[in-house]
Amino acid sequence: MKRIIQVIFFLSISCYSYSQFILSAEGVTADNVCTPNTVCFLTGLRNESRARPVESMEVIQKRLNETVSFARSNPSFEASPAIQFAVNCRGEIGGGFHIVTKSGNDELDKELMDFFKTIKEWNAGRINRRRTVDSWYMWRLEIKDGNITF
């Protein structure tokens, strides 16, 4: 019986750990964050909630396709780019914009980066449902048939 209680105790301690990933991209500086060098990668698991834009994803996707003309102009072009940046603890863009996965066209990458800088209103990421933190946000895109989707 004593052995069972010990095993249960150690299992409960090991399953209860709440560690947090702190990521940094080499050479990328998030210049408008609340706590420099402590930008979290929130997975949305446990008691975390990711940063998210206030504007709906459908509206952002529609604006993206209207604004970024490269995809419409090149309907045979296909790519899966990803762009990441920080959202600070106040729900503002925190900087640190960088391309995680290139599209294969520098002009398109620049247009995408410029577009995502226009999304100004965010809900900050949270830990333990209360505390807001600086966090990374990544847009993973699919470009196919002249259309850009998330």
DSSP designation for 124: P
**136 lies in some domain:** yes
**10 lies in some domain:** no
Residue 107 and residue 30: Cα distance in Å, rounded? 23
**15 lies in some domain:** no
Vertex 111 angle, CA 33 and 38, to 5°? 15
Query: In the chain, pLDDT over 70 holds for what percent of residues?
Result: 80
Mean pLDDT of the chain: 85
What pLDDT sits at residue 27?
58
**118 lies in some domain:** yes
Beta bridge partners of 52: 123
**9 lies in some domain:** no
- Mean pLDDT for 50-72 is 94
**For residue 129, what are the CA distances in angstroms to 47, 48, 54, 80, 121?**
6, 6, 17, 32, 19
Alpha-helical runs (H) found in 51-149? 57-67, 70-73, 106-116
- Structural domain boundaries enclosing 94: 21-149
What band does 64 get if pLDDT is binned at 50, 70 and 90? very high
Q: Strands 52-53 and 122-123: what pairing?
A: antiparallel
**For residue 150, what are the CA distances in angstroms to 6, 44, 62, 106, 131?**
47, 18, 11, 20, 28
What band does 17 get if pLDDT is binned at 50, 70 and 90? very low
23 pLDDT exceeds 90? no
**6 lies in some domain:** no
**96 lies in some domain:** yes
Domains contained in the chain, number: 1
30 pLDDT exceeds 60? yes
**2 lies in some domain:** no
